[in-house]
Chains A and B, each alone.
Chain A
Amino acid sequence: MSQKIKVATTSLAGCFGCHMSFLDIDERLLELLELIEFDRSPLTDIKHCGPCDLGIIEGGVCNAENVHVLREFRQNCKILVAVGACAINGGLPAQRNHLDLRDVLEEVYQTEPGLTHGGIPNDPELPLPLNKVHPIHEVVKIDYFLPGCPPPADAIWKFVTDLLAGRTPTLGHGLIHYD
């Protein structure tokens, strides 16, 4: 093989649990690193994505910055994978969706004693939250989905190795999980 597969990963509105599960493939990481190299990823601390073969996204879209990062990945990655419950259906952050965002901001920054120091932050450096939290396939086209909260390390391994081998990734019973 002439060249290693370039892989980028990120966590949007997620908890990094999916990344942790990725690391749980343990010593198989070494095997994997024979085949791939990481571009932008929390593992490398590269800040922006270059052209990649594979993008792995954890977490849903809860604010404007998530949209920008997701688009950067879509623009640079040939294949984009939604990993974990939050990327796939909004997950835990989306459980705020039955509340009105205005009420949430008021409750947190204006009403609740102890937090009401400076009112609702309006620093332009801070990304604005979206009215609702959305799964990533509602914002860009996603090629593959790998569910789980987090997906088990074995499922991630199976998925990545299938993909690297040029097979359509297929999980059997016990590897597909939504929880």
Chain B
Amino acid sequence: MPMKDPADIIDAVLSRHRDDPTRLLQILRETQEELGWLSRKTLAFIARGTRQPLARVEGVASFYSFFHTRPMGRYRVLWSDNITDRMLGSARLMKEMCQKLWLEPGHVSEDGLVSVATTSCTGMCDQGPALLVNYNAIPRLTSQRVAQIVELIRTETPISAWPGEFFQVDDNIRRRDILLANRLNRGDALRTAIVRSPTVQAESSANERTWQDSNLASAPGPLLTLEEIKRANLRGRGGAGFATGTKWEACRNAAGSGPESAHCVICNADEGEPGTFKDRVLLTTQADLVFEGMTIAAYVVGARLGMVYLRGEYRYLRDHLEKILTRRRSEHLLGHNILNQAGFDFDIEIHFGAGAYICGEESALIESLEGKRGVPRNRPPFPVTHGYLGQPTIVNNVETLAAAALIAANGGDWFRSIGTEKSAGSKILSVSGDCERPGIYEYPFGVNVAEVLSDCGAIPAKTQAVQISGPSGVCIASDEFQRRIGFEDLATAGAFMVFNNERDMFEVARNFSHFFAHESCGFCTPCRVGTTLLKNCMDKIEAGHGSEYDINEIFKINHLLQTASHCGLGHTACNPMFDTLQKFRPAYQRRFKSLAFEPAFDLDLALSQARQMTGRDDADAHLKNTMEVKE
């Protein structure tokens, strides 16, 4: 097989993206797919093509976990390292894989064939342990499956020729409510929205310069739909719970900048919060509803441009989603003059993330879409006025947009009648951990934790804790199981991780501390350094070198992170330690050998290199870590 010239490959990628620097992430991803990794030479080529400084391109490439600026194995295996994967034995299986491949985790085999490492939660918690091989998800791993994978790698079988069942991802929908059980046909919501103002659309566009102009003034259709969204009291499903109608209205009223003002609708499908996988299932089973929600949003705010920011871990959904987009275009639900409304132009493009949890934060997501490092912006201004390329932009979670489509079809009063007073509608929970039936559960807001536990087959008496809304959320203990899912009490992005009485809650918190240290963007001092100090503290306690001093340190760092961090990642990074220290402190204390103080590092281990070099192993060649207390 003749080798293609790398320069030709990069050229082809660049021209596919019109040398557009804002498309840098997609350019890097597609280049890496062909070349395996991104050498500085490759980056320099891309920098010249996109007319950017090399260092800036390198800065972007090195920000994202899924881009490699060093050679990687031709098979890149990344094990999902969420606590739920670990509870299902991922660490042992990964070790097995490494042993079979004669490989150290994190290293590339000498022949360049394979590398094995871990990555943050890949969103397969209900069917773990899971891994990514060259960014294709493989769930439900067992020793046998690991052996099969090793064999396929050894024989250098192309991934396209691996058994399809390996890559089968299940939906595991266990309970449906208004969203998952909806019976809308494609376009129903849009048609209802347009019919709300039967007369105005056609005449206004004839006289106005563009449909968007008329929309900004007072076109009744969009305004009436906005009223329904507001009446519905729809709040963001990504966790923060901001009022969707308020967001849309602010964006709609923002003028935008430049001669070609272009409002923008972004669907946040970066679903990176460990333990969350409901957006994956929504995009698998309800993609039309989500895209319809985006189109409704575009109709309301007057946007032409729609983008889905899909996490790189869900790359396998691409063909499925593109197929649905194509069908919607052919049915005039996307594209030019949607549903024959003159000037109603809107289309949707899918962008892929590349392994950066922080890009779930809306302003970091926008930076990433612009081809930059995913660093949260200073706010104000907010995206609704200055978002993608400085234009008014709404960023909504997948589930929020699906709910918006339902509201457009069925009305705000209907939606508001479901759920509780402050939490209208339903919430989709991603249930994983110690239960019989992990998967997707949709409930009207207000359901209590005990009911979810009983539905998913977890025995409340044998359950010690549930982590609500992932590591950045809240850990509740068994005496809190009457608490309710909803903005009044337990606001959540959907993660619901169950821990039985056998689980070590310290290890849960330690796993989360590693997650935050790995995912901190590094922009602000408290989060960049603080998350690593926290991780080190937890590792120190784990190694049996902790003391009450270290607990005080955790509280001290927590206080700083909560008050001085730049964004939500830092604000919440200490939550797992804080909650488990409040509720499960013995899990920490039983690891202590002394109460007051223990050295910051392992003293005896610190003599290991000298012992090795001198061959000594006498008593004086060792140190006790804990100081003897003098009587």
Q: Do chains A and B touch in the complex (CB under 8 A)?
A: yes
Asked if A129 contacts B610 (CB within 8 A), the reply is yes
Question: For residues 53 through 108 of chain A, which have their beta carbon under 8 Å from a beta carbon of chain B?
Answer: 64, 67, 71, 74-76, 100-102, 105-106
Residues in B with CB closer than 8 Å to A138 are 599-601
User: From B610, which residue of chain A is reached at the shortest CB distance?
Assistant: A128
In the bound complex, how far is the Cα of B549 from the Cα of A100, in angstroms? 30
In the bound complex, how far is the Cα of B627 from the Cα of A140, in angstroms? 9
Asked if A75 contacts B627 (CB within 8 A), the reply is yes
State the Cβ distance, B148 to closest chain A Cβ, in Å. 39
- A134 an interface residue at 8 Å Cβ cutoff? yes
Knowing A127-B620, A139-B603 touch, does A105 contact B613 (C-beta < 8 A)? yes
- B607 an interface residue at 8 Å Cβ cutoff? yes
Asked if A120 contacts B600 (CB within 8 A), the reply is no
In the bound complex, how far is the Cα of B611 from the Cα of A121, in angstroms? 11
In the bound complex, how far is the Cα of B568 from the Cα of A101, in angstroms? 40
Asked if A122 contacts B623 (CB within 8 A), the reply is no
Residues in B with CB closer than 8 Å to A101 are 609-610, 613
Residues in A with CB closer than 8 Å to B600 are 134, 137-139
Question: For residues 588 through 616 of chain B, which have their beta carbon under 8 Å from a beta carbon of chain A?
Answer: 596-597, 599-601, 603, 605-616
In the bound complex, how far is the Cα of B607 from the Cα of A139, in angstroms? 14
- B8 an interface residue at 8 Å Cβ cutoff? no
- B206 an interface residue at 8 Å Cβ cutoff? no
State the Cβ distance, B392 to closest chain A Cβ, in Å. 49
Neighbour of B607 across the interface among A64, A102, A106, A137, CB < 8 A = A64
Asked if A141 contacts B606 (CB within 8 A), the reply is no
Residues in A with CB closer than 8 Å to B614 are 120-122, 128
User: From B603, which residue of chain A is reached at the shortest CB distance?
Assistant: A67
In the bound complex, how far is the Cα of B629 from the Cα of A106, in angstroms? 38
Residues in A with CB closer than 8 Å to B607 are 64, 128, 130-131
In the bound complex, how far is the Cα of B612 from the Cα of A122, in angstroms? 11
Residues in A with CB closer than 8 Å to B599 are 138-140
Asked if B612 contacts A102 (CB within 8 A), the reply is yes
Asked if B609 contacts A64 (CB within 8 A), the reply is no
Asked if B597 contacts A128 (CB within 8 A), the reply is no
Residues in B with CB closer than 8 Å to A121 are 614
- B618 an interface residue at 8 Å Cβ cutoff? yes
- B379 an interface residue at 8 Å Cβ cutoff? no
Q: Count of A-B contacts with CB under 8 A?
A: 70
Asked if A128 contacts B630 (CB within 8 A), the reply is no
- B621 an interface residue at 8 Å Cβ cutoff? yes
Question: For residues 103 through 131 of chain A, which have their beta carbon under 8 Å from a beta carbon of chain B?
Answer: 105-106, 120-122, 124, 127-131
Asked if A141 contacts B612 (CB within 8 A), the reply is no
Question: For residues 126 through 163 of chain A, which have their beta carbon under 8 Å from a beta carbon of chain B?
Answer: 127-132, 134, 137-141
Asked if A130 contacts B610 (CB within 8 A), the reply is yes
**A76, A128, A141 pick with most chain B CB within 10 angstroms:** A128
Question: For residues 64 through 102 of chain B, which have their beta carbon under 8 Å from a beta carbon of chain A?
Answer: none
Report the contact-size class of chain B (Cβ under 8 Å from the partner).
20 to 34
Interface residues of chain A: helix, strand, loop or mixed (majority): mixed
Give per-residue flags for B393-426: 1 if the beta carbon is below 8 A from chain A beta carbons, else 0.
0000000000000000000000000000000000
Knowing A100-B609, A140-B597 touch, does A64 contact B623 (C-beta < 8 A)? yes
Question: For residues 27 through 69 of chain A, which have their beta carbon under 8 Å from a beta carbon of chain B?
Answer: 64, 67
In the bound complex, how far is the Cα of B549 from the Cα of A124, in angstroms? 34
State the Cβ distance, B112 to closest chain A Cβ, in Å. 25
Knowing A100-B609, A105-B610, A130-B606 touch, does A124 contact B620 (C-beta < 8 A)? yes
Asked if A124 contacts B618 (CB within 8 A), the reply is yes
Residues in B with CB closer than 8 Å to A140 are 597, 599, 627
Residues in A with CB closer than 8 Å to B621 are 64, 124, 128
Question: For residues 547 through 596 of chain B, which have their beta carbon under 8 Å from a beta carbon of chain A?
Answer: 549, 596
Residues in A with CB closer than 8 Å to B610 are 101, 105, 128-131
Asked if A64 contacts B549 (CB within 8 A), the reply is no
In the bound complex, how far is the Cα of B626 from the Cα of A75, in angstroms? 13
Asked if B620 contacts A141 (CB within 8 A), the reply is no
State the Cβ distance, A106 to closest chain B Cβ, in Å. 8
Knowing A127-B620, A138-B599, A141-B549 touch, does A102 contact B609 (C-beta < 8 A)? yes
Residues in A with CB closer than 8 Å to B609 are 100-102, 105, 131
Asked if B597 contacts A67 (CB within 8 A), the reply is no
In the bound complex, how far is the Cα of B601 from the Cα of A134, in angstroms? 9
State the Cβ distance, A103 to closest chain B Cβ, in Å. 10
State the Cβ distance, A74 to closest chain B Cβ, in Å. 7
Residues in A with CB closer than 8 Å to B606 are 130-132, 134
User: From B597, which residue of chain A is reached at the shortest CB distance?
Assistant: A141
State the Cβ distance, A55 to closest chain B Cβ, in Å. 14
In the bound complex, how far is the Cα of B630 from the Cα of A132, in angstroms? 28
User: From A100, which residue of chain B is reached at the shortest CB distance?
Assistant: B609
Residues in A with CB closer than 8 Å to B597 are 140-141
Residues in A with CB closer than 8 Å to B627 are 71, 74-75, 140
Residues in A with CB closer than 8 Å to B549 are 141
In the bound complex, how far is the Cα of B319 from the Cα of A8, in angstroms? 74
User: From B547, which residue of chain A is reached at the shortest CB distance?
Assistant: A141
Asked if B630 contacts A75 (CB within 8 A), the reply is yes
Residues in B with CB closer than 8 Å to A120 are 613-614
State the Cβ distance, A26 to closest chain B Cβ, in Å. 36
State the Cβ distance, B164 to closest chain A Cβ, in Å. 47
Asked if A67 contacts B615 (CB within 8 A), the reply is no
In the bound complex, how far is the Cα of B610 from the Cα of A129, in angstroms? 6
State the Cβ distance, A141 to closest chain B Cβ, in Å. 4
Residues in B with CB closer than 8 Å to A105 are 609-610, 613
State the Cβ distance, B626 to closest chain A Cβ, in Å. 10
Residues in B with CB closer than 8 Å to A67 are 603, 623
Residues in B with CB closer than 8 Å to A130 are 603, 606-607, 610
Residues in A with CB closer than 8 Å to B608 are 131
Residues in A with CB closer than 8 Å to B596 are 141
State the Cβ distance, A8 to closest chain B Cβ, in Å. 15
User: From A122, which residue of chain B is reached at the shortest CB distance?
Assistant: B614
Asked if B603 contacts A128 (CB within 8 A), the reply is no
Give per-residue flags for B22-33: 1 if the beta carbon is below 8 A from chain A beta carbons, else 0.
000000000000
User: From B609, which residue of chain A is reached at the shortest CB distance?
Assistant: A101
Residues in B with CB closer than 8 Å to A122 are 614-616
Residues in B with CB closer than 8 Å to A74 are 627
Residues in B with CB closer than 8 Å to A100 are 609
- What are some 7 contacts across the A-B interface (CB < 8 A)? A74-B627, A102-B609, A105-B609, A120-B614, A122-B614, A128-B614, A140-B597
With contacts A101-B609, A122-B616, A139-B600 known, what are 16 further pairs, Cβ within 8 A?
A: A64-B621, A64-B623, A71-B627, A76-B630, A101-B613, A102-B613, A120-B613, A124-B618, A124-B621, A131-B608, A132-B606, A138-B599, A138-B600, A138-B601, A139-B599, A140-B599
Q: Which 5 A-B pairs have the closest CB atoms?
A: A138-B600, A122-B614, A128-B610, A130-B606, A75-B630
Q: Which residues of A contact B (CB under 8 A)?
A: 64, 67, 71, 74-76, 100-102, 105-106, 120-122, 124, 127-132, 134, 137-141
